[in-house]
């Protein structure tokens, strides 16, 4: 394997410097990382180079890193264990990140197990490294029972020492039919003992996200005063009917939030990572954060997301010399924003600086509708009629569905559905994630009328 992938040609006159990223981990995983790095380099507007430090044994990880440390601006490790070993061993010299172990990686491992291991029972499995919540969510998505699924989460480097014994015990007691591990040495030990085992490997999508984050980290390193910055976005679901709509609503809301954040973040070359159904992390540079906040005078994303999603959103921004420091500051800041109900965003730099940032000026998405056109006038009249019939209290959001619109406007449901489509196209309504009906069945699609745009 080559130790280097070729950089994309730097853009003439570009202010952001070219960076070099080190890719570390087991050789098979580094091979995947290298393949994905070609895509990242081709898509980058700046010069990006990737150097590989693959190894066959974790004991060789430090030596491979030290060989490249003077040539790289940031690093990517195969998982939290390797990252923590580098940190606690005090040989980490550049801002770094690691490949995330998410539910998607578990799905892929379960699929491989079903295709390659005869008579495997996916409801009788032992899993290490992933949290119980991630395992429960993944199994819930594919409709499998977790009564006989055994999980031991990663809780620091010392916890890895017990992984092999954990899997072996469950197999010997005939509690499981396969072991799923994230650790290469555990996989080798169990395989030598005759225990059916597969390794949980990050998906190409999560590898791509990590590499893009590492590029941003490297740019922060090269740009000196342009520190790494992270923005935590926490959705705050409210309302009895929505809370009762359950996991389906949460998944739909998470998807909408992710889509909107990606659209906003791409404008400044940032990357977005989904931590849970309600928490997202945007990784960028200090310079991009300055632009997003208009010199720290307005809250990034806050106004646009709150308007578009129809639910409160908390935003916290943080900076730091390392990924972990910036992330910690952002997460502390978003907790403070949650305490305000999402009315302000909070910025922390890890020092004495703390700023409360209010939503900025209305964007084009929330600007008043032009009621002079025929389409705009019709949409204006529909919203006005519906709002008048519902008699909302001052500041109360107006949420409707096809049935309620049809009843208010005294039209068929087909016509009511067409009216709502017109309102969405005119920017006077926003589709909310569907809410479950009391009797079950297909969830109802609800819409929030943007009556504030009529003023």
CB atoms within 10 A of CB 64: 17
- Listed residues 98, 130, 149: the one ending a domain: 98
Confidence grade of residue 199 (pLDDT, cut at 50, 70, 90): very high
Work out the pLDDT band at 352, boundaries 50, 70, 90.
Answer: low
* CATH code, 74: 3.40.50
CA–CA distance, 164 with 403 (Å, rounded to integer): 57
**Whole-number Å distance between alpha carbons of 309 and 273:** 18
Domain count, the chain: 4
Angstrom distance (rounded) from CA 133 to CA 153: 10
Asked if residue 236 and residue 353 are part of one domain, the reply reads: yes
pLDDT of amino acid 363: 43
CATH number for the domain spanning 392: value is 1.10.10.10
**232 DSSP β-pair partners:** 281, 316
Mean pLDDT calculated for residue range 387-399? 74
Q: Does 320 fall in a domain?
A: yes
> 3-state SS string over the chain?
CCCEECCCCCCCCCCCCCEEEEEEEEHHHHHHHHHHHHHHHHHCCCCEEEEEEEECCHHHHHHHHHHHHHHCCEEEECCHHHHHHHHHCCCCCCCEEECCCCHHHHHHHHHHHHHHCCCCCCCEEEEEECCHHHHHHHHHHCCCCCCEEEEEECCCHHHHHHHHHHHHHHHHCCCCCEEEECCHHHHHHHHHCCCCEEECCCCHHHHHHHHHHHHHHHHHHHCCCCCEEEEEEEECCCCHHHHCCHHHHHHHHHHHHHHHHHHHHHHHCCEEEECCCCEEEEEEEHHHHHHHCCCCCCCCCHHHHHHHHCCCEEEEEEEECCHHHHHHHHHHHHHHHHHCCCCCEEEECCCCCEEEECCCCCCHHHCCCCCCCHHHHHHHHHHHHHHHHHCCCCCCCEEEEHHHHHHHHCCCHHHHHHHHHHHHHCCCEEECCCECCCCCCCCECEEEECHHHHC
Per the domain annotation, does 439 fall within a domain? yes
Pair (330, 236) in one structural domain:
yes
Q: How confident is the model at residue 26 (pLDDT cuts 50, 70, 90)?
A: very high
- SS3 for 235? strand
Q: Are residues 338 and 240 both part of a single domain?
A: yes
Asked, for residue 215, whether it belongs to a domain, the answer is no
- Which pLDDT belongs to residue 172? 95
Model confidence band, residue 16 (pLDDT cutoffs 50, 70, 90): low
- Last residue of a domain, which of 80, 98, 116? 98
Is 0.75 topped by the overall pTM? no
- Strands, DSSP E only, in 10-47? 19-26
Supply the pLDDT for residue 220: 67
What confidence category does residue 362 fall into, taking pLDDT thresholds of 50, 70 and 90?
very low
| In the predicted structure, residue 331 carries a pLDDT above the cut 90 | yes
What is the domain range of residue 263? 225-357
Distance CA 307, CA 397 (A): 11
CA separation, residue 329 to residues 288, 297, 333 (Å): 17, 19, 6
Domain CATH number, residue 282: 3.30.70.270
Backbone torsions φ then ψ of 56, nearest 5 degrees? -100, -15
What percent of the chain has a predicted confidence (pLDDT) above 70? Answer: 80
345 burial level (CB within 10 Å; 0-12, 13-18, 19+): buried
Q: ∠ CA 324-233-14 to the nearest 5 degrees?
A: 65
Are 89 and 110 members of one domain?
Answer: no
Other CB atoms within a 10 A radius of the CB of residue 205 amount to: 12
Are 166 and 235 members of one domain? no
Q: Of 199, 233, 262, at which residue does a domain stop?
A: 199
Residues 306 and 381 in one domain: no
């Amino acid at each position: 394997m080559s130790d280097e992938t070729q950089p994309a040609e730097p853009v003439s006159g570009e202010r952001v410097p070219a960076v070099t990223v080190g890719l570390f981990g087991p050789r098979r995983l580094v091979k995947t990382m290298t393949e994905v790095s070609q895509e990242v380099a081709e898509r980058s507007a700046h010069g990006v180079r990737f150097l590989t430090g693959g190894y066959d044994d974790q004991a060789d990880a430090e030596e491979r890193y030290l060989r490249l440390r003077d040539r790289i601006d940031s690093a990517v490790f195969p998982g939290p264990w390797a990252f923590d070993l580098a940190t606690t061993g005090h040989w980490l010299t550049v801002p770094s990140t690691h490949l995330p172990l998410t539910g998607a990686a578990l799905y892929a491992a379960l699929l491989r197990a079903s295709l390659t291991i005869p008579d495997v029972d996916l409801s009788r499995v032992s899993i290490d490294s992933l949290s119980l919540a991630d395992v429960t969510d993944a199994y819930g998505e594919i409709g499998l029972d977790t009564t006989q699924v055994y999980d031991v989460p990663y809780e620091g480097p010392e916890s890895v020492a017990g992984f092999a014994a954990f899997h072996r015990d469950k197999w010997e007691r005939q509690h499981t039919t396969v072991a799923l591990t994230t650790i290469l040495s555990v996989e080798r030990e169990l395989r030598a003992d005759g225990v059916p085992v597969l390794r949980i490997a990050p998906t190409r999508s999560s590898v791509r996200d990590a590499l893009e984050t590492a590029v941003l980290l490297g740019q922060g390193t090269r740009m000196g005063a342009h520190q790494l910055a992270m923005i935590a976005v926490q959705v705050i679901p409210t309302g009895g009917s929505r809370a009762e709509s359950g996991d389906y609503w949460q998944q739909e809301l998470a998807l909408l939030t992710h889509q909107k954040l990606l659209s906003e973040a791409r404008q400044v070359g940032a990357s977005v990572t989904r931590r849970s159904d309600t928490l997202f992390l945007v990784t960028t540079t200090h310079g991009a954060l300055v632009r997003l906040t208009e010199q720290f005078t307005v809250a990034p994303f806050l106004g646009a997301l709150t308007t578009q999603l129809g639910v409160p959103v908390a935003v916290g921004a943080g900076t730091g010399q390392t990924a972990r420091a910036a992330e910690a500051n952002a997460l502390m800041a978003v907790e403070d924003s949650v305490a305000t109900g999402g009315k302000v965003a909070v910025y922390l730099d890890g020092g004495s600086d703390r700023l409360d940032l209010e939503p900025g000026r209305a964007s084009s998405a929330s600007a008043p509708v032009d009621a002079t056109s025929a389409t705009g006038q019709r949409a204006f009249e529909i919203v006005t009629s519906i709002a008048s019939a519902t008699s909302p209290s001052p500041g109360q959001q107006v949420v409707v569905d096809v049935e309620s619109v049809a009843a208010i406007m005294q039209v068929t449901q087909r016509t009511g559905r067409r009216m709502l489509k017109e309102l969405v196209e005119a920017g006077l309504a926003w589709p909310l994630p569907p809410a479950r009906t009391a009797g079950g069945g297909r969830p109802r699609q609800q819409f929030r009328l943007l009556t504030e745009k009529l003023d």
